[in-house]
Amino acid sequence: MKAIILTENGGADKLILKEIDKPVIKPNEVLIKTKALSINPVDGFVRTKEAYVKRILQPTPGEDMILGWDVSGTVVETGSEVTGLKNGDEVFGMVNFPGSGKAYAEYVAAPAGQLTIKPANVSHSEAAAATLAALTAWQSLVTYAKVKPGDKVLIHAAAGGVGHYAVQIAKHFGAYVIGTGSANNRDFVIAQGADEFIDYSKEKFEEKVQDADVVIDGVFGDHILRSLDAVKGGGRVISLLTFFEGEIAAKATAKEVFTHRLGVVSNGTDMEVIAKLLADGILRSYISARYSFADIPKAHEEIAGGKTRGKIVVEL
């Protein structure tokens, strides 16, 4: 089968198309014939930095390094211990995150417990998009921030992969949603359901909002300190990047803010909820770019630009 191998840490030119053996499934796994996969910023972080290879990819010594975690496709083999899925099922999910998902391949071995059935009214591309990013939005807002009706929720990078799902999920839970982004994403973020939009290039969000119940922050730098200014005392701040340490932890403690640095994890139960939201049209994937399998390096270059609207998918 065809796979994209990461030969060593470096630029997108280190991603090489190679013919390798199909994966052999374990008893708890299924083999998926990939129809679509999606690209996330973390793919680029792991590609460029050895520390991310160790922390996230965790490859077995000697094996090919294959990136990618988000897959949608058809089950073609089923392990002896698998009960919930059968050959021919159309499934999607985030495979082995953190760990080796090896989704940049024509066939992907995946634990059945991390997958769910793709709704018939959702395309493989829309399903592949709604995996790592949608799980991040769900686990941030629902598992940790415990969003509830009437909450004022500030979502940074609201036009991005995580952000556009987070806006939709927060609205579904009855929150008042404020999204941040640059001016050209105003209409897009409002169309996802946001009540307000803050253009970060013209306004300081912490000057406009100081009483958020929940903040979801996936922006680098001192952003998390500013998010702690925007949350009310006793509120909840979920960080997707920066850890709550030192000055940041002290500021959160002084305001009695609940904090959590999310590390998204594969979870079949959460995938089932996402599948139901997609099936019911409550959650929608916005796909801004589609690439062929051989063009995965180009998809890496695009996501590294940091201007992605919605999701970038690869179609096989």
Verify binding: residue 101, ligand NAP, rule CB under 6 A.
Answer: no
Verify binding: residue 129, ligand NAP, rule CB under 6 A.
Answer: no
Q: Which region among 56-64, 174-182, 247-255, 294-302 touches ligand NAP (by CB under 6 A)?
A: 174-182
Cα separation, 76 vs 221, in Å, equals 44
Of 25, 65, 91, 240, which one interacts with ligand NAP (CB under 6 A)?
A: 240
Of 264, 274, 278, 314, which one interacts with ligand NAP (CB under 6 A)?
A: 264
Q: How far is the CB of 248 from ligand NAP (least distance, A)?
A: 15
Are the C-beta atoms of 155 and 178 separated by less than 8 Å?
Answer: yes
Task: For ligand NAP, give the closer residue by CB, 2 or 226.
Answer: 226
| CA-to-CA dists, residue 226 to 31, 72, 196, 216, angstroms | 45, 37, 18, 12
Of 71, 238, 303, 314, which one interacts with ligand NAP (CB under 6 A)?
A: 303
Residue type, 169: I
Picking from 39, 102, 91, the residue whose alpha carbon sits closest to that of residue 67 is: 102
**Which residues face 38 on adjacent strands?**
70, 313
Task: For ligand NAP, give the closer residue by CB, 81 or 207.
Answer: 207
Task: For ligand NAP, give the closer residue by CB, 30 or 252.
Answer: 252
Query: Which 8-state DSSP code applies to residue 284?
Result: -
- Torsion, Cα of 242, 153, 273, 72 (10° steps): -50
Cα separation, 103 vs 114, in Å, equals 13
Q: Which region among 17-25, 68-76, 132-140, 206-214 touches ligand NAP (by CB under 6 A)?
A: 132-140
Q: Measured on CA atoms in the order 290, 124, 46, 143, is the torsion positive or negative?
A: positive
Positions 210 through 239 that interact with ligand NAP (CB under 6 A): 218-219
Interface positions with ligand NAP (CB under 6 A): 40-42, 132-133, 136, 156-157, 159-163, 180-182, 185, 200, 218-219, 240-241, 262-264, 303, 306-309
